[in-house]
């Protein structure tokens, strides 16, 4: 096994009082009374929620991929259906879905739970799904030195389902491929068939 101890960095301390003031302002701006009984604790609750939902902003998910094992296995490793939720940066509304991560090792493998940890930490920030997909693929390609990497995300965006066009159930699928999966059509087709298998 290479890499050092997988310690998490000291957590970033979000400015909760500042967020609480902002939530009070939003409530007042839409004509609500932030001091009425049902809303008294809402600013504090919302502030804690945002601190949790954006906690990945100050973490380095790459550290999980640096804990690798020397292994001669050189066939596909695929982890499907990793659930995640993130926040669309355009409306600060959640998008929820599943991530599928695959790679072709080149002498080193990573613990399967580490792939899920990467998804979890990358998802905890305001972003667009397209960027999230590429960020995970780039991290895997760079840190694992794999022959090929594929990342597919499927998500439902509440900014499309509860406002604007109002189309609940619409699913957005994004993919990013690196290495062999980018250049070899049959390899990419094989992994996509495994991802899509029911």
What CATH number is given to the structural domain containing 24?
1.10.286.10
Check if 159 is active-site. Answer: yes
Check if 121 is active-site. Answer: no
* pTM assigned to the model: 0.91
Q: Could you tell me if 44 and 78 lie in one domain?
A: no
Would you say residue 186 lies in a domain? yes
What the block records as the tokens of 11 is 């957590």
Q: Could you tell me if 24 and 71 lie in one domain?
A: no
Q: Could you tell me if 39 and 69 lie in one domain?
A: no
Check if 89 is active-site. Answer: yes
Q: Residue 144: enclosing H or E segment and its boundaries?
A: helix 129-144
Check if 88 is active-site. Answer: yes
Catalytic residue among 32, 58, 134, 159: 159
The pLDDT tens digits for 123-157 are 999 999 999 999 999 999 999 999 999 999 999 99
Contacts (Cβ under 8 Å, ≥6 apart) of 48 = 16
Q: Could you tell me if 82 and 22 lie in one domain?
A: no
Q: Could you tell me if 75 and 105 lie in one domain?
A: yes
Q: Which residues is 84 bridged to in the sheet?
A: 97
Catalytic residue among 64, 88, 121, 143: 88
Domain span at residue 154? 61-196
Average pLDDT over the chain, rounded to an integer: 94
Check if 90 is active-site. Answer: yes
Chain centroid to Cα 32, Å, comes to 34
The pLDDT tens digits for 157-190 are 999 999 999 999 999 999 999 999 999 999 999 9
Domain count for the chain: 2
Catalytic residue among 32, 58, 91, 190: 91
Task: With both helix axes pointing from N to C terminus, report the angle between 112-123 and 129-144 in degrees, rounded to the nearest 10.
Answer: 140
Contacts (Cβ under 8 Å, ≥6 apart) of 196 = none
């Amino acid at each position: 096994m290479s890499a050092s101890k997988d310690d998490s960095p000291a957590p970033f301390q979000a400015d909760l009082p500042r967020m609480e003031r902002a939530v009070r302002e939003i409530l007042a701006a839409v004509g609500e009374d932030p001091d009425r009984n049902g809303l008294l604790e809402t600013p504090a609750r919302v502030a804690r929620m945002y601190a949790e939902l954006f906690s990945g902003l100050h973490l380095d998910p790459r550290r999980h991929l640096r804990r690798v094992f020397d292994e001669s296995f050189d066939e596909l490793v695929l982890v499907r259906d990793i659930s995640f939720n993130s926040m669309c940066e355009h409306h600060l509304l959640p998008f929820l879905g599943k991530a599928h991560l695959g790679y072709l090792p080149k002498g080193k493998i990573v613990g399967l739970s580490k792939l899920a940890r990467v998804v979890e930490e990358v998802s905890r920030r305001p972003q667009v799904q397209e960027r999230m997909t590429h960020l995970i693929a780039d991290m895997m390609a760079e840190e694992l030195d794999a022959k090929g990497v594929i990342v597919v995300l499927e998500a439902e965006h509440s900014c499309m389902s509860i406002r604007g066009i109002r189309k609940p159930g619409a699913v957005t699928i994004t993919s990013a491929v690196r290495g062999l999966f980018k250049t070899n059509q049959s390899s990419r087709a094989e992994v996509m068939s495994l991802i899509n298998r029911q």
